[in-house]
Amino acid sequence: MLWQCRGHVFDLAARTRVIGILNLTPDSFSDGARYLDRGAALDRARQLIDEGADLIDVGAASTRPGAPPVPAAEQIRRLTPVLKPLVRAGNVPISVDTASAEVAAFALAAGAGAINDVSALGDPGMAQMVAEAGAGVVLMHMRGTPATMQHEPHYEDATGEIAAFLRTGLARARAAGIAEACVALDPGIGFGKAAPHNFELLARLDEIVSIGRPVLVGVSRKSFLAAPEPLAVDQRLEAGLAATAVAVFQGARLVRTHDVAATVRAVRIADALRAARPGAPSD
């Protein structure tokens, strides 16, 4: 299974790839305001790469529950000092976490390899932008917007509905001229889901995997990890590693995390377990 991000092609059969998170935001739920300074942000990126990140996902707008929208101009202002130096360093491909076509245009012009779109091409200009650049794109499921998504989310069949949404998203991407090889899918853990929906999605992840595109899962430090037992944000590492390992065993090929070194170790074991299953597919 390949994921193409402009000039870079990830062969995901070989191993699951770990995406390190770099938040240039004042208000992200676990690390807001830590990397506002250009030097701090570039140091953090270097650390993520040293720890084994295969790709860096740079975010300039928090999408935590209740977060207000951040205007494109402000996202671009936050990205400007950091994005080009990161791309120029050329260590790993860079993705930009944005739902704005205007921000995506800026990011792709600066050399980003992929757009991580939590709105799954919700902005009308986004698909064309990604298609023309030959960029990688993550289509993520979210119910509502960050401002509203945790207001009593309800599903008849969460996994079935989310799989159908992602199937439709993939078809829309293809119709807009995005090569299928460029598309990854993400069920959007924590985005318009109560804790039981997140657990069910991870337990039934094979149904998302069966759509046939690489699946990305992001559980890092999220609040559902504290559902069985109260855990502060900085106490959720082990719980997140357990959930990540299960996701990879179920077929996730991309994982997004703040804690790269620990996640790389957990993912290697999950990859080995998955490969050891009788008749394990080699994709």
Using the minimum distance from each CB to ligand HH2, give the nearer residue, 253 or 256.
Answer: 256
241 C-beta neighbours (distance < 10 Å), count: 22
Find out whether 243 and 199 touch, Cβ atoms under 8 Å.
Answer: no
In the range 70-99, which residues lie near ligand HH2 by CB under 6 A? 97
Q: Tell me the closest approach of the beta carbon of residue 84 to ligand HH2, in angstroms.
A: 21
Q: Is 139 in the site for ligand HH2 (CB under 6 A)?
A: no
Q: Is 59 in the site for ligand HH2 (CB under 6 A)?
A: yes
For the four alpha carbons of 126, 128, 129 and 130, in that order, the dihedral sign comes to: positive
Closest CA to 250 of 268, 273, 218, 228: 273
Of 58-66, 125-133, 164-172, 174-182, the segment contacting ligand HH2 by CB under 6 A is 58-66
Q: Tell me the closest approach of the beta carbon of residue 160 to ligand HH2, in angstroms.
A: 20
Q: Tell me the closest approach of the beta carbon of residue 23 to ligand HH2, in angstroms.
A: 5
93 C-beta neighbours (distance < 10 Å), count: 25
Q: Is 118 in the site for ligand HH2 (CB under 6 A)?
A: yes
Contact with ligand HH2 (CB under 6 A) among 12, 48, 56, 63: 63
The rounded distance, in Å, linking the Cα atoms of 105 and 40 is 25
Of 1-9, 23-31, 98-106, 263-271, the segment contacting ligand HH2 by CB under 6 A is 23-31
Using the minimum distance from each CB to ligand HH2, give the nearer residue, 1 or 96.
Answer: 96
Q: Could you say which of 44, 222, 236, 253 is catalytic?
A: 222
In the range 204-243, which residues lie near ligand HH2 by CB under 6 A? 216, 218
What are the angstrom distances between the C-alpha of 207 and each of 71, 160, 238, 251, 270? 35, 8, 25, 10, 18
Contact with ligand HH2 (CB under 6 A) among 186, 208, 213, 237: 186
3-state secondary structure of 251: coil
The rounded distance, in Å, linking the Cα atoms of 147 and 150 is 8
Find out whether 255 and 64 touch, Cβ atoms under 8 Å.
Answer: no
3-state secondary structure of 151: coil
The rounded distance, in Å, linking the Cα atoms of 14 and 12 is 5
The footprint of ligand HH2 (CB under 6 A) covers 21, 23, 25, 28-30, 59, 62-64, 97, 116, 118, 138, 140, 186, 189, 216, 218, 256
